[in-house]
Amino acid sequence: MPSTQMVFADRASHREWLLAQSALPAGFRVGCSRFDFTPAEAPKPARMTLTLVALDRPSPDFAAVFTRNAFPGAPVTVGRGRLAGPALSAIIINNKISNVCAPGGTEAAERVCAETARLLGVPADSVLPSSTGVIGWGLPVGAMLSALPGAVAALSAGSVMPAAEGIVTTDLYPKVRRAAVGAGSIVGIAKGAGMIEPNMATMLVYLMTDLAVPRAELRRMLSAAVEPSFNSISVDSDTSTSDTVALVSSGRVPCPDARAFESALARVCSDLAEDVVRNGEGVRHVIRVSVVNAPGFGAARALGKAIVNAPLFKCAVAGNDPNVGRLVQAIGKHVGAHDPGADLSGMRMRLGGVEIFSGGAFRLDPGKEAALVAHMRLAELYASAPPKNGVYSPPVDFPAHERCVEIEVDFGQFGGASAVVLGSDLTHEYVSENADYRS
Amino acid sequence: MPSTQMVFADRASHREWLLAQSALPAGFRVGCSRFDFTPAEAPKPARMTLTLVALDRPSPDFAAVFTRNAFPGAPVTVGRGRLAGPALSAIIINNKISNVCAPGGTEAAERVCAETARLLGVPADSVLPSSTGVIGWGLPVGAMLSALPGAVAALSAGSVMPAAEGIVTTDLYPKVRRAAVGAGSIVGIAKGAGMIEPNMATMLVYLMTDLAVPRAELRRMLSAAVEPSFNSISVDSDTSTSDTVALVSSGRVPCPDARAFESALARVCSDLAEDVVRNGEGVRHVIRVSVVNAPGFGAARALGKAIVNAPLFKCAVAGNDPNVGRLVQAIGKHVGAHDPGADLSGMRMRLGGVEIFSGGAFRLDPGKEAALVAHMRLAELYASAPPKNGVYSPPVDFPAHERCVEIEVDFGQFGGASAVVLGSDLTHEYVSENADYRS
């Protein structure tokens, strides 16, 4: 699927475009409430945002996919149970603390849901909880319950922007995508910047639609849509314990065309997934790997992931250094470990459209080197700014362009499967963000 | 196996200790030759060191293990062929260019071997070639042939130090380990700092012994010795295309005790493997993960690798930040992907000897947090120095202490298997080293 990434000159024009995308489908309202608190585990003040997404009436038509991490957060465990329930009325989301492996985490999530349900006048098991932030700490349940009435009072139809802005943590900007189908629409928001190699879904993604699509169809379509989108990206190879993609329909608008809906859903997921990579922690280059003529989709995607997760290659990209030897290292490590008998004699590689490898050997010369460097420089989202007090920070907080470092790997099995994987470089900005994130 | 890492106050005292380890076993000589050249692919002057390890007479008793990367370098391919030959006479090693996937790479390696053999008066197929450096470029064969007589003329018994110093690339210091058995010894040297997650052996390791051990025994012992040593470390999860561990006996001294020899070999491999991690690119903390009560050795080691290869956890360690949520994320990602049905209810974790996780939940409080921070600070090899011209460089070039960030994971299957894995943090120094290594 081709990219529909947008180009912006500054944060103001980006925000204007986001607002234009943010019209809520019929039947939804969103509201936020912010408050200060002090975590019990490491006493230092913090600010939490509660974000509430509410349906005007409970809907049986909803779907959700969750992380495959073996230590899922309490909200994921509770959310899996919700899938068996009759209807969804609301989603209550908090940032700062992810409620993962915290003593009493499930009870805490259920208490927040119950109070949300009481305030909205709906059943407690129709509220989906969602949390993101530090792993291991407990939710400040008392403070959250006190703040909930504020979120309910703030509920408003019109724009999804308050929710898109409410759910972020280290994201530089909110992420909103919209697709129209007939008289209705699908609107999605996402958060996620680090700990991003989703294995089912990226950290937190909420998709709202007013188009009437039955539960079973929604679930099938969502499962299909996450594979080439959220499950085909990686910022840092870390799979979050909180990954969640939820899709809910208010059923207000008849769906004129199921295939158009499915296609629009796939587009929104694909766009949000690229937004997540493009706004990944410390990302200065987005890398797009296209693997073709591979033995299967799984093998193609796994090879693409192996490339975008190889630290030395990621560092070379950060430095605009076409160190293609590290690309071959990454491919060779992956194939050697997972398919040691594979015939690689027909493998070909291109970087920025330039053939660099075929017939088992590199095809390099100084002219190609110069072209590769130019391609990488052009794909740099921003030039690294000198650190302040030892900390590197991105000088831009909007998507500056839509270009990628383009890698094509032809596995050499004519007529085989293909996959596209999006990843990123490894930069000083990423290390600065993560070597002292929590303290 | 407990660590025997040494502590040094400065480079001079470290070098003194290295020299004390470096007595060559009987029957070996080493010599080096350095020269300047200009690579064809990216014209910029470079300096190469040729290192020659020569036996006084060809020996049938040698062993070698190589990378499992599916794009092995030409020297690895040639070296695999040498294993079938009758004897080994010499090893010819170059740095700067690894001769991987370069057009005509095999022919280039064979030409260097043939000229080495001619100068030494031995069969060409008794010379093992070895190369490390940039992947993809071609060897400067002409210049190497011109330099070879200098290396032959420099051959000298006595100390292995010229070879230990000759084979390095980005290493901060040479690595030499020695063990005595009866009247003989095993002496090993290693290079390797980045692209280090060996899958068979680390980049380049040469083990020399004068103890007479037959070829079949040597090969069995070497295969066993690399598993808990070189195959249980990772600096950056990248598996080199050149990994090689070679072991050769001159047979000059009767071996009094095969088990003592095997034990000494294991010790030398284990020590060199830790040396490689401790001197890994940008390493400021060595992380030692001990996994116990696991379903099997493979599962235990894979879990340990998953922990030391998780970028967010590595960044947290770099920042002396006991962000143990990232540790649980790494474990959960690995188990969720590879053994999704595993029962983790009995899993316990300790960091720096402090229990942090049991019964599915964290056991944290501010007092423990302070103890964890203190443990991590104590294990820091050096404090990061501010960058000069945007480049971070380690301020020390010797092993400053022997401590590790100690992680223990009890899988909860009483009486099960165990493994120890060594890894490192992810630092600005690593990014500086690798975002502009080649240019």
Residues A271 and A303 in one domain: no
Give the pLDDT mean for A91-102.
Answer: 92
Interface test with A, best of B135, B203, B281, B303 (most A CBs within 10 A): B135
Q: How confident is the model at residue A198 (pLDDT cuts 50, 70, 90)?
A: low
Q: Which residues of A touch B387 (CB under 8 A)?
A: 387
Looking up residue A383, the CATH number of its domain turns out to be 3.10.20.340
Find the domain containing A267 and state its range.
11-278
Residue B6 within a domain: no
User: Is A439 a residue whose pLDDT tops 50?
Assistant: no
Q: Which of A278, A309, A328 is the last residue of a domain?
A: A278
User: Is A281 a residue whose pLDDT tops 70?
Assistant: yes
Residue B5 within a domain: no
> What rounded mean pLDDT belongs to chain A?
90
3-state secondary structure of B256: coil
Give the pLDDT mean for B123-146.
Answer: 94
Determine, for residues B239 and A335 on separate chains, whether the beta-carbon distance falls below 8 Å: no
Phi, psi of A51 (to 5 degrees): -120, 125
Element (H, E) at B48: strand B46-59
- Output the six-digit token pair for B78: 């040639």
Residue A3 within a domain: no
Residues B143 and B18 in one domain: yes
Q: Which of B244, B278, B312 is the last residue of a domain?
A: B278
Residues B225 and B301 in one domain: no
At residue B433, the pLDDT reads: 87
State pLDDT tens for residues A349-363: 999 999 999 998 998
Q: How far apart are CA A360 and CA A337, in angstroms?
A: 18
State pLDDT tens for residues B13-58: 899 999 999 999 999 999 999 999 998 877 789 999 999 999 999 9
Residues 181-240 of B with CB under 8 A from A: 194-195, 197, 199, 236-240
At residue A200, the pLDDT reads: 42
Interface test with B, best of A77, A96, A100, A101 (most B CBs within 10 A): A101
Residues A235 and A329 in one domain: no
Determine, for residues B333 and A369 on separate chains, whether the beta-carbon distance falls below 8 Å: no
- Which of A239, A336, A439 shows the shortest C-beta gap to B333? A239
At residue B171, the pLDDT reads: 85
Residues B170 and B294 in one domain: no
Residues B146 and B119 in one domain: yes
At residue A7, the pLDDT reads: 75
User: Is B195 a residue whose pLDDT tops 50?
Assistant: yes
At residue A436, the pLDDT reads: 64
At residue B201, the pLDDT reads: 45
Residue B3 within a domain: no
Q: Which residues of B touch A237 (CB under 8 A)?
A: 309-311
Give the pLDDT mean for B233-258.
Answer: 87
C-alpha distance from residue A355 to each of A37, A321, B71 (Å) = 55, 16, 18
Residue A361 within a domain: yes
- Which of A316, A342, A431 shows the shortest C-beta gap to B315? A431
Residues A205 and A328 in one domain: no
Q: Whose structure tokens read 């500054």? A: A10
ipTM associated with this complex: 0.84
Check if B202 is active-site.
yes
Beta B88-94 vs B286-294: how paired, if at all? Answer: unpaired
Residue A1 within a domain: no
Tell me B146's DSSP state: H
Strand order of the β-sheet with B405-410 is: B361-362, B354-358, B348-351, B405-410, B286-294, B417-424
User: Is B66 a residue whose pLDDT tops 60?
Assistant: yes
Q: How confident is the model at residue B439 (pLDDT cuts 50, 70, 90)?
A: very low
Give the pLDDT mean for A118-125.
Answer: 97
Tell me B285's DSSP state: B
At residue A201, the pLDDT reads: 43
At residue B3, the pLDDT reads: 58
Residues B148 and B216 in one domain: yes
- Output the six-digit token pair for A278: 């493009």
Give the pLDDT mean for A155-177.
Answer: 92
Percent of chain A past pLDDT 90, that is, above it, reads: 64
Residue A2 within a domain: no
The distance of A336 to chain B (nearest Cα, Å) reads 4
Give the pLDDT mean for B369-398.
Answer: 91
- Output the six-digit token pair for A317: 């990209």
Phi, psi of B248 (to 5 degrees): -140, 140
Residues A270 and A293 in one domain: no
Beta A244-254 vs A62-66: how paired, if at all? Answer: antiparallel
Percent of chain B past pLDDT 70, that is, above it, reads: 96
Residues B250 and B271 in one domain: yes
- Quick check: B179 and B197 in contact, CB under 8 A? no
Is B105 near chain A, with CB under 8 Å?
A: yes
Give this prediction's pTM.
0.87
State pLDDT tens for residues A214-265: 999 999 999 999 998 888 888 877 777 788 888 999 999 999 999 999 999 9
Taking alpha carbons only, the member of B172, B176, B188 closest to residue B222 is B188
State pLDDT tens for residues A330-344: 999 899 988 888 899
Looking up residue A196, the CATH number of its domain turns out to be 3.60.70.12
Which is the catalytic residue, given B170, B202, B244, B427? B202
Determine, for residues A312 and B387 on separate chains, whether the beta-carbon distance falls below 8 Å: no
Interface test with B, best of A356, A431, A438 (most B CBs within 10 A): A431
- Specify the higher pLDDT residue, A274 or A170: A274
Residues B255 and B366 in one domain: no
Q: Which residues of B touch A364 (CB under 8 A)?
A: 41, 136-137
State which residue of chain B sits closest to A307, comparing Cα positions: B238
At residue A199, the pLDDT reads: 55
Is B298 near chain A, with CB under 8 Å?
A: no
Is B417 near chain A, with CB under 8 Å?
A: no
Cβ contacts below 8 Å, chain A against chain B, sum to: 260
Q: Which of B219, B251, B278 is the last residue of a domain?
A: B278
3-state secondary structure of B175: strand
User: Is A203 a residue whose pLDDT tops 70?
Assistant: no
At residue B166, the pLDDT reads: 94
Q: How confident is the model at residue B198 (pLDDT cuts 50, 70, 90)?
A: low
Q: How far apart are CA A63 and CA A179, in angstroms?
A: 18
Determine, for residues B69 and A332 on separate chains, whether the beta-carbon distance falls below 8 Å: yes
User: Is B148 a residue whose pLDDT tops 90?
Assistant: yes
The number of distinct structural domains making up chain B is 2
The distance of A215 to chain B (nearest Cα, Å) reads 27
Residue B73 within a domain: yes
User: Is A146 a residue whose pLDDT tops 60?
Assistant: yes
- Which of A98, A331, A426 shows the shortest C-beta gap to B431? A426
The distance of B83 to chain A (nearest Cα, Å) reads 20
Residues A93 and A205 in one domain: yes
